[in-house]
Amino acid sequence: MSKNIESHQIEDRVFLPADEFSRKARISSLAQYKKLYKESMEKPGVFWGREAKELLWHKPWSKVLEWKAPFAKWFVGGKLNVAENCVDRHACGERANKAAIIFEGEPGDKRVITYAQLRRDVCRFANVLVNNGIKSGDRVLIYMPMIPEAAIAMLACARIGAVHSVVFGGFSADSIVDRLEDSGATTIITADGGWRRGKIIPLKENVDSAMEKFTHIRKVIVYQRCGNPVIMAPGRDVWWHEESVKVSSTHKAKYFDSEHPLFILYTSGSTGKPKGILHTSGGYLTGTYTSFKYVFDIREEDVYWCTADVGWITGHSYIVYGPLANGATQVMYEGAPNQPDFGRFWKIIEENGVSIFYTAPTAIRAFIKAGDHFPANYDLSSLRLLGSVGEPINPEAWMWYHQKIGGGRCPIVDTWWQTETGSIMITPLPGCTPLKPGTATLPFFGVDAAILDETGRECKANEGGKLVIRKPWPAMTRTIYGDKARYKKTYWSDYEGIYTAGDGARCDKAGNFWIVGRIDDVLNVSGHRLGTAEVESSLVSHPAVAESAVVGRPDEIKGQGVVAFVTLKESHSPSEALRKELRDHVGKSIGAIAKPDAVYFAPALPKTRSGKIMRRLLKELVSTGDISGNITTLDDITVLANLKASMTS
């Protein structure tokens, strides 16, 4: 039986950067990339020290890195204020009147916040926090809609040294309780509600439900967004706007050690208990600042838009800290991509002249399913760079994105990274990297990525194995909050002194990294280990398929059988002939071993509100015929009934 992950995907299409793009790019040739990458590997202190010096430090560091695996300290002894770096140093200079955030609410309300205004708002809310008894080191839970005040709350916490823990606005009251209990937070910042698909999400009501189980909260600060009625507990609950008029809009920033905790962000744990990923200040800011600058090739005139939510690491790193540290102008949108229809994103790009667009493959596949006529109705000529984040992007979705959204002229930076890594780890640099649809290409500066087999041997070209990082990097998580033993066991126990990402991958002869799926999702079929991402990619390459999800189910003979759920494009209908055609299509493009035992046509796949496919629900469904697990993060509960119906039709 093979212990390595097998990879059968073949992709020969190559897209070279346009000469005009390369001439203007920060990194304009592979030779320049290789020179800087070599320096970052051989002299990390020199490389990262130079990048960090572009930030504002109150006290210089004495040592760039102190490393005792698996624990790192970066910029040892240095002191800085993260919020000052993201706001004040722009607001007090030539960018004072430059737009920092261009906000559009789902109902259509709009605001433009300059760096000068952002500084006043952050300072004022920092004073509100202090006035309500919050101090350095306190944990503050933030449960907000996707509005500028979410970023303001995060920056205000950073300004006074409080440790923020943002909970995604789509999570339930139970999720809030879990995070409150683990973090020991004493304050919650929330809103009365937020808009999503034309409806109000009752955020304050969810907080009140959580308070029935967790009673240690001293203050709840509520921003009035939707005007929906809420219950305010006297002495505990206060209105953001009422507290703001009591304080000044000036605040002197305090300075904190480079290793001062900046935030705790919870991610799912295999035990059911969420893992509190702890990130600190100096290294994290340096990593997000540097990666944003180079990966997105940021220019002063750019209008950047990341469609993530601040409740996820993408929102932390590439909405709040990375872009603002670079003094960028960015769009922030509150609602759903299909409200009122699937033209909403393209309308926002046209109206705001967005030049850099960063979104998730699951959103791209939803746009494909909706139809080409939506983007065709809008002028997308302002775009010069596209990005992908969250999961591997299959080649056919990559090609659609490149052609229909980028007009065939925009490079795509397909980025691989994690909550734990803090910043982008494997990615093209748009001015120099040859692009192949479906690969995240090459490691970013300072990232020693490799593919290892079960014995720790580095895999040969195109041989699948475990994706690992062999050297520390600035934005890496420092630990799991309150549980160092779990941190060691989860990420550092497979190979001595090496970080295991939990993803299966392969590296081709050109050094490009191909992510083939989570190790937990690898299928064991008749002794062959197959990555789900490749089977899904094969299905989506069929002209009838918009999206797919593949899981394994127990099989007495093969160990596991392959089960596929597919969502068809609007122009195609389910049929037995199409079912057979899809099975044969996978057999032809990958091999007979990967042919699905069953193909189910699903109107939609079960997803979180952030767009992640909830494969664990599909696994449970194909194994037991029902779903009994936690579904509180599911975006649309009606999807489950439709899935069950699809399995009996």
Model pLDDT, residue 462: 92
Instruction: Give the tokens for residue 246.
Output: 């009591």
Which sequence spans correspond to the domains of the chain?
5-81+264-515, 82-254, 522-648
476 within 8 A of 280, measured Cβ to Cβ: no
Query: 3.40.605.10, 3.40.50.12780, 1.10.760.10, 3.40.640.10: which CATH number matches 5-81+264-515?
Result: 3.40.50.12780
pLDDT at 22 over 80: yes
Pick the closest to residue 297 from 610, 18, 52 (CA basis): 18
Pick the closest to residue 558 from 528, 522, 526 (CA basis): 526
82-254 and 522-648: identical CATH topology:
no
pLDDT at 1 over 60: no
Torsion sign, CA atoms 122, 73, 48, 31:
negative
pLDDT at 261 over 90: yes
Model pLDDT, residue 649: 65
Q: Decide which of 19 and 11 is more confident.
A: 19
Q: How far apart are CA 70 and CA 490, in angstroms?
A: 11
Model pLDDT, residue 2: 47
Q: What percent of the chain has pLDDT over 90?
A: 79
How much is the mean pLDDT over the chain?
Answer: 93
What does the pLDDT look like over 155-199, one tens digit per residue? 999 999 999 999 988 888 888 998 999 999 999 999 999 999 899
Confidence of residue 269 (pLDDT cuts 50, 70, 90): low
Q: How far apart are CA 369 and CA 571, in angstroms?
A: 9
Helix (H) or strand (E) holding 137: none
Q: Decide which of 293 and 7 is more confident.
A: 293
What does the pLDDT look like over 340-385, one tens digit per residue? 999 999 999 999 999 999 999 889 988 998 999 999 999 999 999 9
Number of H helices, E strands in the chain: 22, 31
The CA radius of gyration of the chain, in Å to the nearest whole number, is 24
Comparing 76-90, 258-272, 290-304, 619-633, the range with the smallest average pLDDT is: 619-633
pLDDT at 60 over 60: yes
Model pLDDT, residue 606: 86
Residues 243-263: what's their mean pLDDT?
97
Residues 389-394: what's their mean pLDDT?
89
Which residues in 434-544 belong to E strands, given as ranges?
Answer: 449-452, 465-469, 479-480, 499-507, 513-518, 523-525, 528-530
Model pLDDT, residue 520: 73
Residues 241-268: what's their mean pLDDT?
96
Model pLDDT, residue 527: 62
Model pLDDT, residue 173: 87
CA angle 531, 537, 538 (to 5 degrees): 100
- The one-character DSSP state at 18 is P
With b for 16 or more beta-carbon neighbours within 10 A and e for fewer, the 259-270 pattern comes to bbbbbbbbeeee
Q: How far apart are CA 300 and CA 93, in angstroms?
A: 14
Pick the closest to residue 368 from 196, 540, 146 (CA basis): 540
Residues 31-41: what's their mean pLDDT?
98
Model pLDDT, residue 11: 81
What does the pLDDT look like over 540-565, one tens digit per residue? 999 999 999 998 888 777 778 899 99
Model pLDDT, residue 164: 98
Model pLDDT, residue 272: 55
Sheet holding 499-507, edge to edge: 449-452, 465-469, 499-507, 513-518
Model pLDDT, residue 137: 97
In words, the CATH class of domain 522-648 is: alpha beta
Instruction: Give the tokens for residue 137.
Output: 């080191």
Question: Residue 402: CA atoms inside 13 Å, Cβ hemisphere, count?
Answer: 22
pLDDT at 10 over 60: yes
Q: Which architecture characterizes domain 82-254 according to CATH?
A: 3-Layer(aba) Sandwich (3.40)
Residue 133 CA: distances (Å) to CA of 139, 176, 253, 421: 12, 22, 17, 32
Q: Decide which of 530 and 231 is more confident.
A: 231
Q: What percent of the chain has pLDDT over 70?
A: 96
Q: How far apart are CA 176 and CA 178, in angstroms?
A: 6
Instruction: Give the tokens for residue 451.
Output: 């593919």
189 within 8 A of 225, measured Cβ to Cβ: no
pLDDT at 270 over 50: no
Length of the chain as a residue count = 649
Confidence of residue 636 (pLDDT cuts 50, 70, 90): confident
What does the pLDDT look like over 581-616, one tens digit per residue? 999 999 887 877 788 999 999 888 888 766 778 888
The SS3 assignment for 5 reads strand
Instruction: Give the tokens for residue 450.
Output: 């490799």
pLDDT at 19 over 80: yes
What does the pLDDT look like over 484-515, one tens digit per residue? 999 999 999 999 999 999 999 999 999 999 99
Q: How far apart are CA 217 and CA 335, in angstroms?
A: 29
DSSP code string of 105-133: -TTS-EEEEEHHHHHHHHHHHHHHHHHTT
Model pLDDT, residue 411: 98
Q: Give the residue ranges of DSSP H helices in 143-211.
A: 148-160, 173-183, 203-211
Strands 356-359 and 303-306 turn out to be parallel
Instruction: Give the tokens for residue 364.
Output: 């791209």
Confidence of residue 391 (pLDDT cuts 50, 70, 90): confident
Model pLDDT, residue 308: 94
- Three-state SS across 169-184? CCCCHHHHHHHHHHHC
Model pLDDT, residue 236: 97
190 within 8 A of 301, measured Cβ to Cβ: no
Q: How far apart are CA 539 and CA 473, in angstroms?
A: 36
User: Across-strand partners of 386?
Assistant: 357, 412
